[in-house]
Structure 1
Amino acid sequence: MDAIYQLMVSRMLYLFKNILPVLIVAVIMANILVEFGLIKKIIFIIRPLIRFSKLPEEAGASIVTYIASASAGAAMLASFRERKLIDDNETTIASILSNFFSFLNHLLIYYIPVVIPILGLTAGLLYAGSRFFISLSVTLVAATTGHFLLRSRESSEIEDKQEEDRRSPEQKVRDALKASIRVFKRIIPRLVIIYLITSYARAMGWFDVFKTFQLPIGLPGEASTIIAVGFADTTSGIILAGSMIAENLLSPVEAVIALLLASVVSMSLVFFRHSLPGKIAYFGAKLGLRIAIITSILDLIFTILVIGVFLTFLTR
């Protein structure tokens, strides 16, 4: 029992010393950037992409908004469609093209402050890089499709006036801290609980059961637990993967493959729980269904492609 106790204490010390401080600082900094509106300063970067896609400026304005808020971006896009400023085909292209810009938001507020500290630098960068490639690929496919299918036209004249933010810098910092606390309440309890469970399971030898079989693609049996947990909850799967990497049960590449497989397995669940209802809510049943299906298929194709690349590397 003393050995089990010492192992669990050492793992919790590692969590509180090496992971939580980085996570806390990164989350707070991310929310400060959001509250001060610094994310939207990169609007000039996407103008060439909008022109290449043959999308009107209205669509470009909504795509930029996705960087700060996916729901706000979708609402703006839906509003332009309702006002007949963009048609259904332009709406479809713009919505799918926004995939990468929505990822940039998640990169700042989730992947950098949460995922990378939990998984560690190597696995964290591999996983975030994989998601970066997948979302960028989806966006480039949408842009190329728009370039060949859409007709160039002049945009309607709209004023891009943002509501003036009269909050003081101190109030923005306070709001950032409040937003950070909400994130901490969701993530830190799960982080501590899963680290405790994983440490105890490792000490008791429970993971040895999974060593008796291999997944068909050549991953260690322990990876199946990440896939199972990740199917139910992505963040919990990431926490478990980080714990297994720290325990040397899986290599960073094996853990990332397991997380990507979990996203593939849970894709149908995510589609019916989140993607489809969200798209229908903004764009109606017919157009929303079309956008949700195309986006999910593209995401699936490029996720499988990335998994294949990692497996090729793993089997060398």
Structure 2
Amino acid sequence: MDPAIGSLIVGEVLPRVLTIAVAIAGGVAFANVLVSFGAIQYIAALSKPLTGPANLPEEVGSAILTTAASTTAGYGMLAEYRDSGLLDDRATLVAVTINTFFGFVQHIFTFYAPVLIPILGLRVGLLYVGTRAGISLAITATGVVAGAFLLSERNVNPDAMADVEGRPRADGGDDRTTSEKLREAGRGGLEKTREILPRLVVVYTLVVLITATYDLEAVTGGAADPLASVTGLPSAAVPVIVIYAFDTTSGAVTIAPLVQDGTFTARAAVATMLIGGIVSFTVSTFKRSIPFQYGIWGAEFGTKVIVVNTSLKVLWISIALAGLLAL
């Protein structure tokens, strides 16, 4: 093996795959524990305003809330529910869509508040984060409405989780000891991880090798110019869009002084970053979404998840962008 390739695998592929594997194992084990100890009914009650109108079973509420702490763990729980037969494909897509806002909440504490807002300044930072929050909330609301109209009893099987070996019986009885419940919960998490891990390794390795060989920025960077021209943003928006599309932090660092010297208003700055977000989907889908979603769901259903997620993001970002430019 080429030493450079080996270095990429050891330095980039393995750490990311191991991180995801740990999160999936923990998420699935957590879901198993919730079901085994009956805690699911209490946690799920918090998400009833979402799962109820969307015609989703209460168990899905735990995955939705878990996403706020770990997107990977939340997705791992949904994959468990789909594999068990609790959700069919349509119901799983609705649940994934509703997950969007809770995935955003996680990033508020890990990136937006500690990193992006200090770079952009309070006014621009809060406007940008508030806009992104509104977009995520709109996507979640879209999922709830979709579930209300598209889902029925045919799309869910409430008895499926009880049919899985080691789950509580349908009559509510469970004669397993606490240690047995914990061991079986952990075993379920490890089994799910072993199922997903080979796909993760293969796909991430291919992505890292391709991105190391080809200049993706040169391929997609040209999309920024016509986008900026159509919106009427300052010409300085073009390099910002390109930079932001490939690295959010660098894009924020680039645009911050341009806001301070008056080149951009706060709304124009946020609009520019939103366009950078749209352009970035080409790269982020290839580098992150495809490996992650294919690893979780497999290629066929993973493609459906990517198409739904990307379409709704582009739609609602475009609506938010139009609103900002119209003000």
Residues 42/101 of structure 1: CA separation in 2 closer, same or farther (3 Å cut): farther
Task: Write the distance in 2 (CA, Å) between the matches of 1:78 and 1:43.
Answer: 17
1:242 and 2:256 equivalent?
yes
AA paired with 2:158?
S
Displacement, 1:51? 0.7
What is the CA-CA distance between 1:300 and the residue it aligns to? 0.2
Residue 5 (structure 1) aligns with: none
Q: 1:42: Cα distance to partner?
A: 8.6
CA distance in 2, matches of 1:269, 1:52: 35
The aligned amino acid for 1:126 is: L
Matches within 5 A, 1:254-269: 254-269=268-283
Q: Where do residues 26-175 of structure 1 align in structure 2 (5 Å cutoff)?
A: 45-152=46-153, 155-156=158-159
Q: 2:238 matched to 1:224?
A: yes
Structure 1 residue 45: Cα displacement: 4.0
- Partner SS state of residue 266, structure 1: helix
- Residue 67 of structure 1 aligns to a residue in which SS? coil
Write out per-residue CA displacement over residues 97-154 of structure 1, whole angstroms, 9 at most, x where no aligned residue. Answer: 1011101111222212222121111111111111111111111111111111111467
2:284 equivalent in structure 1? 270
Cα distance between partner residues in 2 of 1:300 and 1:104: 19
| Cα distance change, pair 258–135 in 1 and its aligned pair in 2 (3 A) | same
Instruction: Give the Cα separation in 1 of the matches to 2:76 and 2:282.
Output: 24
Cα distance between partner residues in 1 of 2:289 and 2:59:
23
Partners of 2:49 and 2:129 lie apart in 1 by 25
Q: Note if contact 1:96-1:142 (Cα within 8 Å) is conserved in structure 2.
A: yes
Aligned-pair distance for 1:274? 1.4
> Residue type of the partner of 1:284?
G
Contact 1:59 1:86 in 2 (8 A): no
- Could you list the runs of 5+ residues in structure 1 that have no partner in the other structure? 1-40, 164-213
Compute the displacement of 1:217 (Å): 2.0
Amino-acid identity (%): 33
SS at match of 1:52: coil
1:52-72, Cα deviation, whole Å (9 max, x unpaired): 111112221111110000011
**Which string of whole-angstrom CA distances, capped at 9 and with x for unpartnered residues, describes residues 70-100 of structure 1?**
0111111112222222222221111111011
Report how many residues are paired: 222
CA distance in 2 between counterparts of 1:222 and 1:216 reads 14
User: Is the 8 Å Cα contact of residues 59 and 91 (structure 1) preserved in structure 2?
Assistant: no
Which residue among 307, 310, 313 is the counterpart of 1:299? 313
| 1:174-189 equivalence runs, <5 A | none
Q: What is aligned with 2:27?
A: none
**Corresponding residue number in structure 2 for 1:308:** 322
Deviation of the 1:276 alpha carbon: 2.4
Corresponding residue for residue 283 of structure 1: 297
Cα distance in 2 for partners of 1:73, 1:94 equals 10
Cα 1:89–1:113 shift into 2, 3 Å: same
User: Aligned partners of 2:230, 2:295: CA distance in 1, in Å?
Assistant: 39
Cα RMSD (Å) of the superposition? 2.3
Aligned-pair CA distance for 1:43? 6.5
Gap regions ≥5 residues in structure 2: 1-41, 169-177, 183-227
| Superposed displacement of residue 216, structure 1 | 3.6
| Higher alpha-carbon deviation: 70-79 or 147-156 | 147-156
Code of the aligned partner of 1:76: M
